[in-house]
Amino acid sequence: MATKEHILIIGAGLCGSLLALHMAQLGYKVTLTEKRSDLRKAKLAAGRSINLALSSRGLKGLKMVGLEKEVESLCIPMYGRMLHSLQGETQLSKYSGREGEYINSISRTGLNALLLDKLETYPNVEIQFENTCTNVNLKQANARFKPANSNSEYTLQADYIIGTDGAGSVVRQQMESEKGFLFSHSQDFLTHGYKELTFPATKGGNYATEKGALHIWPRGENMLIALPNQDKSFTVTLFLAYEGGKYNFNNLTTEAIVEEYFKEVYPDAYELMPDLKTEFFENPTAPLGTIRCFPWTYGKTLLMGDASHAIVPFYGQGMNASFEDVVEFDKALDESDFDLDAAFKHFSQHRKPDADAIADLALDNFHEMKSHTADEVFLEKRKLELEFEKKFPTEYYSKYSLVTFRADLPYSKAISQGRAQDHVILEMLRKNILKSEMSLKEKLNLVLEVSKKVEENELIFDF
């Protein structure tokens, strides 16, 4: 293999580590830098979510680097949403009517460590921890760094730079401040923040609630969710407004008020959190933001993952989108015959609409998840879709399935088709168009036919 270019990748989180691994496998010389210490040796940094939902798009990226088997042992399958009412009733809503379609709860640290361990087996990779990037020369492909153990900065020269340094990206900030090119960017925060809590394992050493589900306590303006960990605990996340309403992050200031709030709003979950009052005040409250920008490339530099498109977590697609970026970047390399300048432009241009689509969907889903009223038509729709998926597994995919399990479709296509189907089924149920005398196959054909028309005509939906 001829000598390939030297790629500096800034940020050794999930996206940067996967990208570094793939570039190393392609034979590039890779320098991967990270401002934090090695997470395999350190305690988890505060404010980053502890477990994540891994699904098909993410798995596609892990498969590309040959880690599909290794990752399996880290995964806990979740087969559906388990909804918890105020009265403590539970209801499981399966993610798919097909066999074998589920999402996985996975430890962020465990997965990142797997990628880093694998990376270290490549001689053409250098990993530098505790090395903070302070400045990037986008055109010259060099960057300034300040190592934690030194008072002086130095310059690292590469042939190309890829910024995978997350939502607070220094590389993106450099693009924002660079004059002479039109860099559009936005950062939008929800008025809600989040805080992580824990259901520890029971005294008997078991999971405190059903292991194989993603748990949701929808309460209108706020909600709690829980995902299982391999140590039989659950990581619980509270989504709550910073201000307004009876309870909010700004007025939950004493142990007494926190206790009152949880007892009133989440009585069953409260029973499962012996360390609630300690955790509530020790763990940070973090904001929920959407970051968009364009173009993602300038000079010899490219942005990838959260650095270019941070999204809110309500469709469980943040990590999956970032891993899929690496797969899409691989396609861009192929398309441009490994000319990196061309590949950067191609990736930026082609990936942007999909990043926008999943960002919008994740925002929409916030409102759906936390209100999640047991609207009858909505329940009827979900039942019909599960029947479609079960009986006609190759012919019907719900919006959730299209986005989550159909990694062969771009986000933008999955979402436009899914939205059309949602609209059409709800309208047909409300107007009683899907008569009881019709067979399931007849219903399916009608839904598919009209959905296709709705999608192609770009009709405006009323939700």
- Name the minimum Å distance from CB 168 to a second copy: 9
- Name the minimum Å distance from CB 175 to a second copy: 11
Instruction: List contacts with a second copy (CB under 8 A).
Output: 176, 182-189, 191, 242, 287, 289, 292, 460
Residue type, 137: N
Nearer to a second copy, 176 or 271 (CB): 176
Nearer to a second copy, 185 or 383 (CB): 185
- Name the minimum Å distance from CB 253 to a second copy: 16
Nearer to a second copy, 187 or 445 (CB): 187
Nearer to a second copy, 171 or 265 (CB): 171
- Name the minimum Å distance from CB 243 to a second copy: 11
Nearer to a second copy, 267 or 289 (CB): 289
- Name the minimum Å distance from CB 391 to a second copy: 37
- Name the minimum Å distance from CB 291 to a second copy: 10
Nearer to a second copy, 252 or 407 (CB): 252
Residue type, 30: V
Nearer to a second copy, 265 or 362 (CB): 362
- Name the minimum Å distance from CB 388 to a second copy: 30
